[in-house]
Chains A and B, each alone.
Chain A
Amino acid sequence: MREDNANYVLKVEKLAIPGMPLLSFEVAAGECLAIEGPSGAGKTRILRALADLDPAGGYVFIEGAERAEVTASEWRRQVRYVSAEPAWWADTPRQHVVRHPELLRFERLAASLGIAREALDHPLAQLSTGERLRLGLARALADEPRVILLDEPTGALDPTATALVEELIRFQILAGRSVVLVSHDAGQVRRLAHKQLQLGAARVPAPARQVTGTHDPRLTGLAERWDKQP
């Protein structure tokens, strides 16, 4: 199945996650979609399904190519899931990025997030939770994925670090990346997101800077369908 509408980088049709209503939405190049909803509504599960880390039915396209049309590793190189708690397997941050151009970009990204250059060679256990969270973001962006799925990117950060991370996300959006953002911080959603996807009926959506999403009949329809859930 091919989709020729190239205006949208990420196009999701009838994404079927067990226990959730079908989801359909689109994110254009240089656009940020915020997914909002109470804890347990399945925000992380949506991000993991988009990255094809968990099985889910329906269709997800990147520039017209469906998940099944490319290999799993190629898909996840383009659709990057950034966990709220990045996991590490080697001793130091630098050892997690092997190839040269990516390593240069990793160093630059880490610096832009306020991480000292020496910290890249410190044992991970000696770094703070906030440093590890920012390094996880730098590692995820080092190979320049097309679509970035951010799960609470500033959850454990102080206001200064939060501002640096938001600045980097804004740069990524300006560079034409598509961003899907999950955040508990309503102010952050207002600052970064162009449109919103509301899960559950518990909360009134916060007014976004550019409220294109809530005018999208597809999204409104989705929210109504969710309301009818028992």
Chain B
Amino acid sequence: MTYHPLSILELAIAGLLLIANAGLSWGFRLGLEKTLLISAARMAAQLGAVGFILKFVFEQGSGALTALFAIVMIAVASWEALSRQRYRIGSGWQHWGLGTAALLFCGLTGTLYAVVLIINTDPWWSPRILLPILGMVLGNALTGVSLVLDTLTTATRRERNGIEAKLALGSTRFEAMHDALGNALRTAMIPIINSMAAAGVVSLPGMMTGQILAGADPIEAAKYQIMIFCVIAGTTALGILAAGIGGVWLLTDSRHRLRAERLIEVT
């Protein structure tokens, strides 16, 4: 089997399905047709634009352009991870700094690990390999970082009195926050653990599907997917741990006091 490029006509045939959906929604007065069509148009425009930009970056083969694209990806990921939090930790700088640092840390570690130690491309920053891997690592890490911070801050607010009681009895800040931090880390690891457990049985991972559609040998595609899962799960765990420990650090001080006033409800 060889790779089958899609023509504009074939894309339009796929789009017909959504038009039909919009028609049904209009017919049944569901009022969904407008949102559905706008989202579909956004999806097509965003993916099309990214396709053109990636093509440009790949053709230029420039390290600076690759780095710029990676920085934009990390910035967007940290916005996505932090903008829907219920609580903010400390000043805006601390809050955004913590999330961005955690994502930067696991994005760079994961991508460099895969690109330099495993795939070994030439040059090592070859955007065709580096950017998709960074994207997959960030996509999972942002869910993890977002969940660990949200769970940690919510638990700290809810269990504030219990944490202070432990501190008053002589616990250190990490002893007092142990339950809250442990729960937050566990919650944040669930999505990636679930997707590994379900991989291939319940769902065929997107990257593997893509490689098979592009004509790759399924066994080779599976090997790639296994490697990617290992890198993603390993570095997501590191990012979650960094964000969780950093969160405890910012919520307490060097005299092991809980600084509840640093937990600000986002309205």
Interface residues of A (CB under 8 A from B): 51-55, 67, 71-74, 76-77, 80-83, 85-89, 139-140, 143
A126 to chain B, nearest CB (A): 18
Q: Is the CB of A87 within 8 A of B257?
A: no
Q: Is the CB of A83 within 8 A of B172?
A: no
Q: Is the CB of B256 within 8 A of A81?
A: no
B64 within 8 A of A: no
Q: Is the CB of B169 within 8 A of A76?
A: yes
Q: Besides A76-B167, A76-B170, A89-B159, 5 other CB < 8 A contacts? A: A55-B253, A55-B255, A83-B164, A88-B165, A89-B179
Q: Is the CB of B168 within 8 A of A73?
A: no
- Given A88-B162, A89-B179: A81 and B257 within 8 A (CB)? no
Q: Which residue of the partner chain, among B159, B162, B164, B179, contacts A53 with CB atoms under 8 Å?
A: B164
Chain B hits for A51, CB < 8 A = 168
Chain B hits for A53, CB < 8 A = 164, 167-168, 257
Chain B hits for A76, CB < 8 A = 167-170
Q: Is the CB of A143 within 8 A of B257?
A: no
- Given A51-B168, A76-B170: A89 and B162 within 8 A (CB)? yes
Interface residues of B (CB under 8 A from A): 159, 161-172, 179, 253, 255-257
Chain B hits for A85, CB < 8 A = 161
Chain B hits for A72, CB < 8 A = 167, 172, 255-257
- Given A53-B257, A55-B257, A72-B172: A87 and B165 within 8 A (CB)? yes
- Given A72-B172, A73-B171: A89 and B166 within 8 A (CB)? yes
Chain A hits for B167, CB < 8 A = 53, 72, 76
Chain A hits for B179, CB < 8 A = 89
Bound together, the chains give a CA A140 to CA B170 distance in angstroms of: 10
A147 to chain B, nearest CB (A): 12
| Top 3 closest pairs, chain A to chain B, by CB | A87-B161, A72-B256, A89-B162
Chain A hits for B161, CB < 8 A = 83, 85, 87
Bound together, the chains give a CA A77 to CA B164 distance in angstroms of: 14
Bound together, the chains give a CA A81 to CA B166 distance in angstroms of: 11
Q: Is the CB of B165 within 8 A of A89?
A: yes
Chain B hits for A140, CB < 8 A = 168-169
Chain B hits for A54, CB < 8 A = 257
Q: Is the CB of B172 within 8 A of A86?
A: no
Chain B hits for A52, CB < 8 A = 255, 257
- Given A55-B257, A72-B257: A83 and B165 within 8 A (CB)? yes
Residue on B nearest A74 in the bound complex, by CB: B170
A15 to chain B, nearest CB (A): 15
Q: Is the CB of B170 within 8 A of A86?
A: no
